[in-house]
Structure 1
């Protein structure tokens, strides 16, 4: 005997597995269409999470914690593969362990050395002959700080009830993740939504002997000083590393295939190179490494200059590869589940969502021009808000500031001069600029007119500022404030109508009045 329809639809189990459609037809007739829903893709009754984040770097941590704030049940996976030279680290990703944090601390150590060089001019007398770098102490103290950060992240995850798995994750389906743990055990979990935040890894040159290269993944935990060092590369990692190693007293050479800081403003890139050369850092431009051979304790490097003649350099104690980074999308089985990637392995997306509806990505694995920690953090927070709250704000990729921590720091926001000309044409931009000498440099008589400021304006929009560039001390601290102002449409008139803080380097932005077009000498004299 058939049950009354009203009794059937009261069954909770029935409602979970059917789709009910009511169609009203002319003459007040209606029909009911009942279809069986697709079975939930968790037949094994795996642990279920509203969100699974693969990657415990800055972006993954930000996304998981933000999602948990809105009540989501979150799992975070993090796994660090040991480098060919045996380096390993804890949760926190590249920035915390082998990137921004140790880099800035090593850079600060080099700045202390520079201040010591100035000290006699400022009345401080001490025995400089006893001054030397204690590499072991520097590395030990920096690593202690990093370990405290690792512990802090784990504590935060626990406090927010986020399930942490120290395991390598890969996709079985678009919802099921297989966890491969360090003890070789495996487990599967189910995620309604999944964020890929696995970051990037250093690239090695495709040459014989590349196994002898270390990378930034190894540098900050080296047991012994690097000594005479060859750095292969031309972007910010190569230059920042060269800067602090030379300051520590190590003979340092940078091998550049074409040009330094290729994607940055080239006028300032050239100024950076000149400043670094003045400090004793050697550059080999238009040079390609061909082979690296081990010679007892040192390495012999074969290279090729633009004239195609092979030559050899001997007696490098350390060779560092800083030729770029690749996304960590390998081994995730993304091809199996159909996630779209470009030729470089970066994930194609629209507002951080992949072509698979429930799968998202943030950070360095994304197809964007910004491999920066604050970008990954912002992406993660905004994405979590969109997924688990009523907030709908999307990531804005325009006007993102950054700083290169070379010996003379370079910070900027907006367009380079080359890109501004390309976008608006030469006749429609105005470039205001000035060379200055920071007050601190005047007493020891160093760095005269090496600090440089440049403001690029769009003449078609009331000289709206489309790029600010600064080469000098404390670049990151200076540019951060200007980045906020440019974000809300700062014009040249608004900038110069502001009162500067005296005596600072930043105040010179408010007094810029010499344009490149005028041909006047931009070097500043006096206070």
Structure 2
């Protein structure tokens, strides 16, 4: 018999932790416990079981992205297709109520799910005392339990500059942890950062009708394909998001309740109703006592591990707290499930962090799988990389003559949106044009990229794309008629046509 109280203790009730805990019971573990404790933000925001994705990430973000996408369709597209609709503007509180009701429904279903799998749920902050002991405080008293394995799945929290770095930021700025349950509409908003979280939030706030400025230091979406990132920024600007190349240096609150922001690089001081920081996330590992028990951390506080196993053999990690990992919910879930199958069911299958698809839910989404053009050239050389491109307007948007905002127009004739879709394949010449990178900016990019990622996992070549007959008229069919390469020098921007396909 085991000398431990539990076979597995999971610290962190997010997607990865819950998936691992439930899968462990299915794989033969006799007793599993899961700790989850939400530390409120400086503004007092807290949430229920389910972690970042469910409460303050993927789920509310996607719902608000969907809500926002209705704005341009109702205001601009619908009248062109015969709809006579009176739009009275956006009700922030009604949207927040709908989003939070759904989130709370998920919170409840996760409690039920843990109970049905006989996972013990402990609503407390777990602390590692030694390689096989976790402590927590209940009713003012410290409790301890022993376990064969410990899994850290605590995720991360948004990073906000210190008082020394940007006076006022800690006190007055909110983060994505606060935004999705904000009680009052944000009004004129400053979003600080160029990450996907920053651009997603700025994008849906703009489409909802709130004047939004993004303050960035240098480039957008660092680590993504540069051409695609710039396309995302271009379309956001044409939809009304303002970008400034400066960062806040001081934030003060005025007597009227607004926030006065002083900027770097000589930018004039400006007032905003809301300041949102989205400048990256830090692992939520500070209170876990990890280094004291021998767990090695990187300079950001993430756990250094090999095949999810830390420097302490009985302690494992999945999700955003893993050094060198991918901060994506499905990655945490998959890694957690595969890990416990190895621990309890004799499996040898390891998590494959290569060719993981992802999507940025900006007004025109960006989906990617594999290497960026820059990464491919750096690894294989310019002469060995071929890039196929096509830029075009989505059929429905072109027919509706969706317009740029006034501030994005160069002259009176410059009214309609630029082609909103960009299709791109990065190929390796020396391997019969094996596809190294798949990229798409446009409507429903997440859905499109998900399916094509399977083709990349199977080692597809450009000729495989060419052999497939596209579905007409769709944006995705553009991948099956790509003929223009960057090296040809020809323009890859469509002058007209019917979306992603050929009309004749």
Q: 87, 105, 118: which is aligned to 2:45?
A: 87
Q: 247, 250, 258: which is aligned to 1:288?
A: 247
Decide which structure has the larger Cα Rg and report it: 1
| Alignment map for 1:354-393 (pairs within 5 Å) | 354-393=310-349
Tell me by how many angstroms 1:442 deviates: 2.3
* Aligned mates of 1:132, 1:405 — CA distance in 2: 22
Q: 93, 96, 99: which is aligned to 1:142?
A: 99
Matched, 1:112 2:70: yes
The DSSP-based 3-state class of the residue aligned with 1:147 is helix
The DSSP-based 3-state class of the residue aligned with 2:126 is strand
Matched, 1:124 2:83: yes
Tell me by how many angstroms 1:450 deviates: 2.3
Provide, for residues 373-432 of structure 1, a one-character-per-residue CA deviation record: whole Å limited to 9, x for no partner: 010001100001000002110010110110000111000100001001001101001100
Match of 1:22 in 2: none
The DSSP-based 3-state class of the residue aligned with 1:393 is coil
Match of 1:455 in 2: 425
The DSSP-based 3-state class of the residue aligned with 2:7 is strand
| Alignment map for 1:160-179 (pairs within 5 Å) | 160-179=117-136
Match of 2:278 in 1: 322
Match of 2:360 in 1: 404
Q: 232, 245, 248: which is aligned to 2:208?
A: 248
Tell me by how many angstroms 1:127 deviates: 2.1
Match of 1:234 in 2: 194
* Aligned mates of 2:287, 2:393 — CA distance in 1: 51
**TM-score of the two chains, using structure 2 as the length reference:** 0.93
Q: 212, 215, 227: which is aligned to 2:175?
A: 215
* Aligned mates of 1:431, 1:263 — CA distance in 2: 18
| Alignment map for 1:472-483 (pairs within 5 Å) | 472-483=442-453
Q: Residue 97 of structure 1 contacts residue 146 of structure 1 at CA under 8 Å; is this kept in 2?
A: yes
Q: Residue 368 of structure 2 contacts residue 437 of structure 2 at CA under 8 Å; is this kept in 1?
A: yes
Provide, for residues 93-115 of structure 1, a one-character-per-residue CA deviation record: whole Å limited to 9, x for no partner: 00000000000000000111122
The DSSP-based 3-state class of the residue aligned with 2:491 is coil
Unaligned 5+ runs, structure 1 = 1-15, 17-39
Tell me by how many angstroms 1:310 deviates: 6.6
The DSSP-based 3-state class of the residue aligned with 1:346 is coil
Provide, for residues 134-192 of structure 1, a one-character-per-residue CA deviation record: whole Å limited to 9, x for no partner: 111100111010001000010011111111100001011111111124x4343111111
* Aligned mates of 1:362, 1:79 — CA distance in 2: 17
The DSSP-based 3-state class of the residue aligned with 1:406 is coil
* Aligned mates of 2:325, 2:148 — CA distance in 1: 29
Tell me by how many angstroms 1:332 deviates: 0.3
Matched, 1:465 2:435: yes
* Aligned mates of 1:261, 1:385 — CA distance in 2: 35
Matched, 1:225 2:185: yes
Higher relative contact order (CA 8 A, sep 6+): 2
Q: 114, 139, 151: which is aligned to 1:195?
A: 151
Q: Residue 237 of structure 1 contacts residue 322 of structure 1 at CA under 8 Å; is this kept in 2?
A: yes
Q: Residue 362 of structure 1 contacts residue 376 of structure 1 at CA under 8 Å; is this kept in 2?
A: yes
Matched, 1:526 2:497: yes
* Aligned mates of 1:112, 1:254 — CA distance in 2: 22
Matched, 1:100 2:58: yes
The DSSP-based 3-state class of the residue aligned with 2:422 is strand
Q: Residue 77 of structure 2 contacts residue 401 of structure 2 at CA under 8 Å; is this kept in 1?
A: no
Match of 2:381 in 1: 425
Tell me by how many angstroms 1:448 deviates: 4.6
* Aligned mates of 1:145, 1:126 — CA distance in 2: 27
Tell me by how many angstroms 1:279 deviates: 1.4
Matched, 1:262 2:218: no
Match of 2:304 in 1: 348
* Aligned mates of 1:194, 1:168 — CA distance in 2: 14
Q: Residue 442 of structure 1 contacts residue 448 of structure 1 at CA under 8 Å; is this kept in 2?
A: no
Match of 1:486 in 2: 456
* Aligned mates of 1:115, 1:331 — CA distance in 2: 47
* Aligned mates of 2:341, 2:50 — CA distance in 1: 21
Tell me by how many angstroms 1:449 deviates: 2.0
The DSSP-based 3-state class of the residue aligned with 2:223 is coil
Unaligned 5+ runs, structure 2 = 403-416, 499-504
Aligned residues: 476
Q: 496, 500, 506: which is aligned to 2:476?
A: 506
